[in-house]
């Protein structure tokens, strides 16, 4: 069985849905499992529903109406008015509003996971129905019934035993379609696998179904040596190893979700990254073997980072006890650490504030430590660097921190010369 994953950019409108059908007709549909994200930027739109529901309850229905209108336009383009899919989508919106009306908890992460799942449920219902209309038989499956997790909402850990048992019930000879990103705990509550987790869903299913391959369909020709939205004259990488892919994903390359590679590497399942526009292109193969081909410098950038410098108020050493308390707080406030550097009297860390908790972290540190920070800085990572590649990045602004290892150099750049607070 092959696993195909389509992200939101590939199905952002009715023509995107038609193109997905074109891809499947070109590639064939036998023994294929399709994993689909929410359409376009709909996950962001459902996040807005959560925010308005928790903070402005009187107006949350307006946010839902915007989402409903977006999907209604796609439905009107793809289907006749009397087609049953219209009623199916209305039923899903009814379930969403029913949850929000009767829900008794205001815990953000729980509400988030019960709400954002509707983006994927709606997109896959529409696509499954359009495949039927295009005479492509398929089976719609609810990913929440397949992928079981713990109850760590918004970043759930997979219960591999239960998930593998559920996968044994799937008919692999058919064309199946399911949702990325979403899952369910053993209590029956919805969970999610972390933002952009649809790639991980494809990896989970590939592992549990012993798939022959996974293909991620993107709006680029494959894995490039840099993000074309940030860098000019990017070059396609024909092949990279699992290890290289993990390194690049860890440092922030957005083409592949960081968690995706491990389950594939465990069973030596190759991953292909291909263009959903240029189907004749082979794209990039990720597998065991050559680290990178062709060999060249690869650039990764993470924006909106926070560089924090922490030192003891009494000018004493930053020893293990101090560092332990800092890491406890980083964990407590769910701050993602992307770079660490320490000296005798200071400790620097580059953070990603995905949960808007940095202010609380800072306020808790301040009584015991001297804390300085720079907001909105960029973290550039260069894999397989040379002197020219480093100099090119250094030209982009003030270098606040630089760290070098054998294969990788990282630079924190402040483009605004926004010096420490």
pLDDT per position as a tens digit, 283-296: 999 999 888 999 99
pLDDT at 417: 52
- pLDDT classification of 418: cutoffs 50, 70, 90: very low
The domains of the chain, with CATH numbers, are 2-211 (3.40.1160.10), 298-414 (3.30.2130.10)
Average pLDDT over residues 174-201: 95
Q: How far is CA 124 from the centre of its chain?
A: 18
The overall average pLDDT reported for the chain is: 93
**pLDDT at residue 419, rounded to an integer:** 41
The Cα–Cα gap between 377 and 304 comes to 6
- The whole-number pLDDT of residue 17 equals 98
* pLDDT, mean of residues 227-233: 89
Task: Say if residue 58's pLDDT is above 90.
Answer: no
For residue 37, list its beta bridge partners: none
Return the pLDDT at 61.
87
Is residue 319 over pLDDT 80?
no
CA atoms of 250 and 218, how far apart (whole Å): 19
Whole-number percent of the chain with pLDDT over 90: 83
41 pLDDT more than 70 = yes
> What is the spatial order of strands in the sheet that 284-287 belongs to?
139-140, 176-179, 32-36, 2-6, 213-218, 271-275, 284-287, 239-241, 292-293
**Would you say residue 408 has pLDDT above 50?**
yes
Whole-prediction pTM value?
A: 0.87
CA atoms within 13 A on the CB side of 83: 17
The neighbour count for residue 390, using CB atoms within 10 Å, is 18
Tens-place pLDDT, residues 121-144: 999 999 999 999 999 999 999 999
Return the pLDDT at 421: 41
Give the per-residue pLDDT at 416: 67
Instruction: Give the pLDDT confidence score for residue 180 in this predicted structure.
Output: 97
pLDDT, one tens digit per residue, over 236-262 is: 999 999 999 988 988 888 778 878 999
Q: What percent of the chain has pLDDT over 70?
A: 99
**CA 167 to centroid of chain Cα atoms:** 23
């Amino acid at each position: 069985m092959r696993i195909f994953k389509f992200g939101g950019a590939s199905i952002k409108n009715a023509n995107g849905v038609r193109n997905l059908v074109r891809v499947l007709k070109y590639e064939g549909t036998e023994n294929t499992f399709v994993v689909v994200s929410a359409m376009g930027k709909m996950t962001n739109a459902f996040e807005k529903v959560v925010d308005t529901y928790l903070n402005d309850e009187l107006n949350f229905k307006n946010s839902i109406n915007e989402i409903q209108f977006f999907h209604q336009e796609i439905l009107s383009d793809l289907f006749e008015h009397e087609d049953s899919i219209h009623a199916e989508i209305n039923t899903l919106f009814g379930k969403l509003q029913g949850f929000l009306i009767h829900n008794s908890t205001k815990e953000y992460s729980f509400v988030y996971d019960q709400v954002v799942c509707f983006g994927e449920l709606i997109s896959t219902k529409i696509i499954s129905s359009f495949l039927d209309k295009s005479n492509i038989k398929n089976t719609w499956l609810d990913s929440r019934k397949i992928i079981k997790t713990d109850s760590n909402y918004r970043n759930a850990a997979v219960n591999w035993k239960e998930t593998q048992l559920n996968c044994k019930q799937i008919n692999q000879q058919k064309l199946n379609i399911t949702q990325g990103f979403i899952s369910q705990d053993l209590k029956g509550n919805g969970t999610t696998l972390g933002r952009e987790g649809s790639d991980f869903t494809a990896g989970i299913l590939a592992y549990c179904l012993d798939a022959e391959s996974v293909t991620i369909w993107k709006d680029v020709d494959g894995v490039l040596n840099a993000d074309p939205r940030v860098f000019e004259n990017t070059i396609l990488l024909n092949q990279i190893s699992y290890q290289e892919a993990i390194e690049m994903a860890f440092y922030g390359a957005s083409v592949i979700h960081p968690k995706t590679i491990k389950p594939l590497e465990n069973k030596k399942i190759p991953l292909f990254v291909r263009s959903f526009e240029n189907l004749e292109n082979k794209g990039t193969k990720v597998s065991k073997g050559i680290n990178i081909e062709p060999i060249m410098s690869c650039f990764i950038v993470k924006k909106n980072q926070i560089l924090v410098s922490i030192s003891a108020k009494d000018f004493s050493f930053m020893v293990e006890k101090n560092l332990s308390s800092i890491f406890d707080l980083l964990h407590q406030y769910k701050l993602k650490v992307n770079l660490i550097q320490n000296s005798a009297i200071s400790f620097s860390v580059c953070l990603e504030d995905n949960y808007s908790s940095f202010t609380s972290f800072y306020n808790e540190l301040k009584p015991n430590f001297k804390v300085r920070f720079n907001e909105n800085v960029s973290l550039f990572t260069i894999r397989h660097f040379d002197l020219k590649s480093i100099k090119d990045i250094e030209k982009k602004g003030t270098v606040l921190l630089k760290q070098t290892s054998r294969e990788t150099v990282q630079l924190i750049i402040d483009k605004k010369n926004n010096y420490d607070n």
